[in-house]
Chain A
């Protein structure tokens, strides 16, 4: 079972800003950096954000990440139809000695 909690869904119209939350604890987000992944239907996950707020080369700056205490957030600004996907947060958990993923959020572009 996931130890990082995300809302099951989020939506917006093209051009809007959408924010996804990821709630954890002191043993994971509170102590380690957060990553965010985008998973388009039928494809492997793609790394969007690492080290809380860093974007890999090629990821549009519409995607941004932040962390505060035991929670993290992913923001998508200027929402586009191709952003319709599942999004997952992830972090190392020191108590479990393992990586943990969030429950996932399905983003719909209305």
Chain B
């Protein structure tokens, strides 16, 4: 079964850091571009970052550029999102997506003091 499972979310203070993980199974992870998409409570979808299947190309939304880093470990079938200098406005449910037909259930990040 094709599956994506996010983890690593939690409560963090403003200015803090978190590392999200997305474990993939049921497909050849290394051949797919991957992305992170977030959804703030009661709001719409916001694209956060993407990485090409080779890992050579990465893309970021302006709202997270310079603070977030996307990466992948194809040997472990895992996608990562390193989030630094977190702000209250980063509070959201973070989804991992395989371009673009498979999505995980998400992991919640709350930035609050």
Contact = CB atoms under 8 A, between A and B. Distances in A.
Interface of A: 2, 35, 37, 39, 44-47, 50, 56, 86, 88, 90, 96-104
Main secondary structure of the interface of B (DSSP, over half): strand
A102 B44 CA distance: 8
B101 A47 contact: yes
Contact of B95 (A35, A45, A86, A96): A45
Contacts of A102: 44
A50 B100 contact: yes
Contact of B47 (A39, A50, A101, A103): A101
Interface in B53-91: 59-62
Interface of B: 35, 37, 44-47, 50, 59-62, 95, 100-101, 103-106
A98 B105 contact: no
Contacts of A96: 62
Contact of A44 (B35, B46, B104): B104
14 contacts: A2-B46, A44-B95, A44-B103, A44-B104, A47-B100, A50-B100, A50-B101, A88-B44, A98-B50, A98-B60, A101-B44, A101-B47, A103-B44, A104-B45
A86 B42 CA distance: 11
Contacts of B37: 45, 101
Main secondary structure of the interface of A (DSSP, over half): strand
A45 B95 CA distance: 9
A101 B45 contact: yes
A2 B61 CA distance: 11
Contacts of B59: 97-99
B87 to A, nearest CB: 16
Contacts of A47: 100-101
A37 B45 contact: yes
Given A2-B44, A44-B105, A98 B61 contact: yes
A35 B104 contact: no
A35 B46 CA distance: 14
